[in-house]
Amino acid sequence: MVLDQLASGLVYSSIIVLGSIGLSLVYSIANFANFAHGDTMTIGAYTSLVTFGAIGGLGGTVLGLPFGFFVALVAGIAMAALVAVVTEKVVYDGMDLDSIGLLIASIGLAFIYRSVVQLGFGAQSTRYGIQSLRPIEALVPYGIRVTQHDVAIVVSAAALVTGLHVLLQYSDLGRKMRAMADNPDLARVSGIRTDRIKLWTWVIGAGLAGAGGAFLGLYSQLTPRMGFNLLLLIFAAVILGGIGSVYGAMLGGFLIGMINQLTPLLSDIGIPIGIEYANAIAFVIMVVVLLFRPSGIAGEAS
């Protein structure tokens, strides 16, 4: 029972981690809380849906997923990144606002994204045309009920996160991004083209969100509200990890996903809080962290 919840916590965490990294990157480099981030995930999911519908399975499968799904995943990532870049260029770039003004503008953008998706696909839920699988036989005796799809989500998320880690630590772009997150003015006078770095931040953040959205659609289903509904959990993850810290966002995303899926254990040990309050627990944790340690668990205490 516990093992099963840990396993499903790991799968859910993977999706939240993909979302929270992008939110944290944008928070530190563009310097505002992006409320459109959840709907960027929705865009990724629906782009994958359309692409997969158009190209089909393309022959073989990996971990129960047709090759075509991975092509669709890349399309979802690309579309989410493209939308973010166009938004940055068209909307945010010309705004002369403080972080609060940008936050409010991002709410407007969130509504625009969601309404476009809803106009195209309706409000009802839908799924990819992929057969859902039975749990992996070998693990069922241990009480773990995960499908190959779940494994694919965790492995793909791990690959993306590792790629990001390599990029941030060892590439020129990564060093510049870290410099800019640390001190934008200093980065600028050092000759870093901060505008360009900002665009790359949007590409990476929104791309990861697009991947998270595509996996969220595979994990449960696609609805126009899917990203918005997850947004607050992602905020909780980012704040728990420490705003601006990518590794904090990973840790925060992991913890929030785990706590969310482990909520049933509370009733087992006699605390009368049911799974319907799983999200509420995360929000309360978020507020407590904001109050007592606003720099998060990975940030430096100030």
Residues in the site for other proteins, rule: CB under 8 A?
32-33, 91, 94-95, 97, 99-105, 107-116, 118-119, 122-123, 224, 232, 235-236, 239, 274, 276-277, 279-280, 283-284, 286-287, 290-291, 294
Distance CA 210, CA 47 (A): 9
CB of 273 to other proteins, least distance (A): 10
DSSP run (H or E) holding 48:
helix 37-55
Closer residue to other proteins, CB minimum distance, 92 or 215: 92
Question: Which of 248, 225, 298, 179 is closest to 21 using CA atoms?
Answer: 248
- Least separation in angstroms between residue 118's CB and other proteins is 4
Encoding tokens for residue 1? Answer: 């029972």
Cα R_g (the chain), whole angstroms = 19
Compare residues 101 and 143 and give the one whose CB is closer to other proteins: 101
> Minimal distance in Å, beta carbon 36 to other proteins?
9
* Burial annotation 121-150 (CB, 10 A radius, 16+ → b, else e): beeeeeebebeeeeebeebeeeebebbbbb
Specify the residue, 49 or 233, whose C-beta has the smaller distance to other proteins. Answer: 233
Residue type, 239: I
CB 81 → other proteins: shortest distance, Å?
20
Q: Choose between 174 and 248: whose C-beta lies nearer to other proteins.
A: 248
Q: How far apart are CA 5 and CA 140, in angstroms?
A: 13
Q: Minimum CB separation from other proteins for residue 235, in Å?
A: 5
Count CB neighbours of 111 within 10 A.
14
Quick one: 123 or 189, whose CB is closer to other proteins? 123
